Structures are given as structure tokens and as C-alpha cells.
Amino acid sequence: MAIDNFPISGRPLDVRVVHALAMIKRHAAATNVELGVLDGALGDAIAPAARAIEAGEHDEHFPIDVYQTGSGTSTNMNVNEVIASLAGQHDVSVHPNDDVNASQSSNDTVPSAIRLAVALAMRDELAPTLLALADELRRAGDRFAEVVKAGRTHLMDATPVMLGDECASWAIMIEQAGGDIDHAVDVLGELPLGGTAVGTGINCPPGFAEGVVASLAGETDLPLRAAAGTPGRMSHQGGQGALATASGALRGVAVAITKVANDVRLLSSGPATGLGELRLPSLQAGSSIMPGKVNPVMCEAANQVAARVFGNDVVVGYAASQGILELNTYLPVMADALLESVTLLANVSRLMGDKMVAGLEADVEQCRRHADRTPSLTTALNPLIGYDAAAAITKQAIAEGRPLAEVAAEQTDLTDEQISAALDPAPMARPHDT
């Protein structure tokens, strides 16, 4: 019925939600047996059926569109029915509602499954790729530790910096975004299982939620815990702030990746008429008409991923705000947006590290040439002659196209040695090194 009702996108709900639901059903069955809600034979039949679904052996049996009933009831019932059908092969009659869905409702299992699926994806798919990208950026920082170049603010020449320090700063941004992912996983760990229809726990025996969640936590090693009492469960069934928090963390990753991608493509621009301070690995032909052109294709892919993640964050933020009384009915679209963002960010982070950062090269001579030419070198003269006198030297040198040192020698009483030492870009890039 649900298949016929929702022929909308042609895309089923992300199967990772189905796998998480099956995991919950398996642990729910075991807990229900312990509490005397289910007969042991039923639990024994449900467990392998659910585990097979978790393993992806029956993904083709979950075709219901993303855009379905907002509680995800269609997918929950799909899972119940497939488990019941598979379990029935063990010569046990298993009812999808009375047995597989015992002590549960779509309204508590679906939001719990979404949290579980997103938390697992964030921890297992995204976090490792961010760590690897940060490590690769730090290695680039080590390679370029002694490469001095012009700094730039407002896209204008500024005082010198070390290329290695720029790369290390990118690594820090990625690491901080990864820390936000870790925090989001913790926030997602509070589950409304046991709330059943409206958070009150009707038809759910005492101890059910605690038993299921403890079992899930032990298996997944996630920081899972049962929401406390009816108000706690209501907060995660009617409200979806945890999903909004997760989406915000994913947006933060997109922000950091965009920063890195834009800096790399600007520093590698040219090579003849741009900055040309970095050389990108040649991954593919850059043009169908211009021979030998190398484009920042990985940067462009990363920025497109970021655009999608920013859009998905808008979807999740709006959807999370639409919880009405005891239920939010935007659950499937939030799950779809979150899991898509995780997948895209994980994939592009891995590719950025492997195919771009690992192969980055510095044009050391070009970097030094720009560092020597930046007019902001006169900043180092401020303590010696004052801001106004240094500004006058800068303006005259620019206007006349002359070296700063030459104009400084004419305009001040400083010795050539003093001027040369002050205008050396390398010490300026690390003023506090001894």
C-alpha cells in the first residue's frame, strides 16, 4: 500500500535507517523475552531475521519512498513485516505488530533508528576521513615548514607567513570540525525508546527501554542512553533538536572544507597569471580545448558538496522546527538529508586528502618572490621609524615601482644592515622564534 501511495522521488529511504531499525527490533525482541512479553521461540526466530536485514541481505525489500508518512510508520511497518516473514521460515508464526513491534511504536523507534544510523555513520564513516585529512594537511605543513610566502588579507598583500603554517591552520579547522562531530554523536545518543505513541510508554513494560538501550550501547560502543521519563521521551519525539545539532556539526565540516578548498585553488591559480604558489596534482585533463590545463577539480567537487550540505542543513533546521505537540512528522526527510551529508562529506574528505593534499607541491621560488615583493614588509620598520614614515616609504615604492629597501635607504638614517634585517620576510613570518 505505501509503495503505491508515495511514488514521489523514486528513491527509497536511506537503507541505513532500515538497518538501524532492524538492530533495534533484534534487541527489543531479546529484551521482551527477558521481560516475559514474548515467548523465547519468538525471540529466537526474530533475531536472525533482523540480523540478516542489518547485514544488508534484504535491502531490495525496502522500496518505500523517502517522501512518505512523516513519522516513518511506513518504513517501520515494512521492517516489521519483512522480519516477520523471514522469521516465519523457522516454523514459528510471527506477527509484525504483536511480536516484532512489541513494546514499541513507530513514534519512538523511528526517531531512535535515525539517531542510531546517523551516529554510526558520523563515527564510522565521517570521523575517520576527517582525521585522515587533518593528518595529510599536517604532513603538508611539515613539507612546507620553511617555505616563506606573502600573507594576504582582504585579498591584498600582507606581511609574510610560512606556507607550512597555513597548511597547519587548515588541519586545525578540520580537527575542530571533527570535534563537533564527536559532540553530535554524544547528543544523538539519547533515545526515546519506550515512549511508544506519545512519550508516555503506554503498552511498554518497565525496564524495556533501559534494557534495549543498554544492549545497543554494548554492541555499538556508542554513548547511548534512554531518555528520562515521559518528558524526556516527549522531547525527542515531538522535538528533534538532536538532529538539528547533528546537522549543524555537518555544516561546520562543510565550512572547514570550503575554507581549505578555496585557499588551495586560489594559491594554485595561474600558473602564469595567478598566484601560482602551489602546484596541484594533475588528476585529469582540465579542458576539452586548452591542452595541458590543470584545474582545481577536487576543490570544485568539495565546494559542490558543501553547497549540498548547506542546503541539507536548511532542510533539517526547518523540519526540526516543525514538531507539533507530541510528534514531529518530518522524520524521513531529515534522515535522508543527514545521511546524504555524512556520505558526501566523508567521501570528499577522503578524496581531498588522497588525491589533492598528498600531491601538493610548493613553488618555493614563486612563494619567496611574492614574499620579497609584498609592500607590507615595511610593517617591520614601524618600531624603528614609526607608522607614518613607513607608510610614506611604502607609497613611494609602489608609485615608482622601486624596491622598498632602496626607498628606505633614501628616506631614513637606518643602515643597510638594519634595513636588510628588518625587511627579511622569513623572520617576519616567525617573529617570536629564537
3-state DSSP call for residue 197? coil
Identify which of 150, 155, 178, 182 has the alpha carbon closest to the alpha carbon of residue 166: 150
Give the active site residue among 93, 287, 321, 420.
287
What's the pTM value of the predicted model, to 2 decimals? Answer: 0.94
Catalytic status, residue 58: no
Catalytic status, residue 154: yes
Angle between helices 241-267 and 297-320 (to 10 degrees): 160
d(CA 37, CA 56): 28
CATH of region 123-194+228-365: 1.20.200.10
Whether 376 and 397 have beta carbons less than 8 Å apart is answered as: no
pLDDT in tens, 227-259: 999 999 999 999 999 999 999 999 999 999 999
Calculate the average pLDDT of the chain. Answer: 95
pLDDT at position 282: 87
Percent with pLDDT over 70 in the chain: 100
DSSP 321: T
Every domain of the chain with CATH number 1.10.275.10 lies at 2-102
pLDDT at position 155: 95
Superfamily (CATH H level) for 2-102: Fumarase/aspartase (N-terminal domain) (1.10.275.10)
Every domain of the chain with CATH number 1.20.200.10 lies at 123-194+228-365
Q: Mean pLDDT over residues 2-31, rounded?
A: 92
Per-residue confidence at 4, pLDDT binned at 50, 70, 90? Answer: confident
Neighbouring C-alpha atoms within 13 Å toward the C-beta of 17? 33
3-state DSSP call for residue 150? strand
Highest mean pLDDT among 138-147, 377-386, 411-420, 422-431: 138-147
Q: Mean pLDDT over residues 83-111, rounded?
A: 94
pLDDT at position 285: 78
Tell me which H or E stretch contains 225: strand 225-226
pLDDT in tens, 150-179: 999 999 999 999 999 999 999 999 999 999
Whether 223 and 136 have beta carbons less than 8 Å apart is answered as: no
pLDDT in tens, 108-157: 999 999 999 999 999 999 999 999 999 999 999 999 999 999 999 999 99
Distances (CA, A) of 352 to 46, 239, 373: 43, 36, 31
Between residues 45 and 434, the one the model is more confident about: 45
pLDDT in tens, 265-293: 999 999 889 999 999 998 877 778 888 88
Is the pLDDT score of 200 beyond 60?
A: yes
pLDDT at position 257: 98
Is the pLDDT score of 209 beyond 70?
A: yes
Is the pLDDT score of 434 beyond 60?
A: no
Question: Alpha carbon 132 to chain centroid distance?
Answer: 13
CATH of region 374-429: 1.10.40.30
Identify which of 23, 44, 22, 21 has the alpha carbon closest to the alpha carbon of residue 34: 44
Is the pLDDT score of 261 beyond 80?
A: yes
Whether 355 and 280 have beta carbons less than 8 Å apart is answered as: no
Taking the CB of residue 400, how many other CB atoms lie within 10 A of it? 10
Taking the CB of residue 155, how many other CB atoms lie within 10 A of it? 7
Phi, psi of 8 (to 5 degrees): -110, -65
Per DSSP (E only), the strands in 267-317 are 278-279
Is the pLDDT score of 9 beyond 90?
A: no
Every domain of the chain with CATH number 1.10.40.30 lies at 374-429
Task: Specify the amino acid at residue 103.
Answer: S
pLDDT at position 65: 94
Per-residue confidence at 1, pLDDT binned at 50, 70, 90? Answer: low
How far the first Cα of the chain sits from its last, in Å, is 75
Whether 360 and 279 have beta carbons less than 8 Å apart is answered as: yes
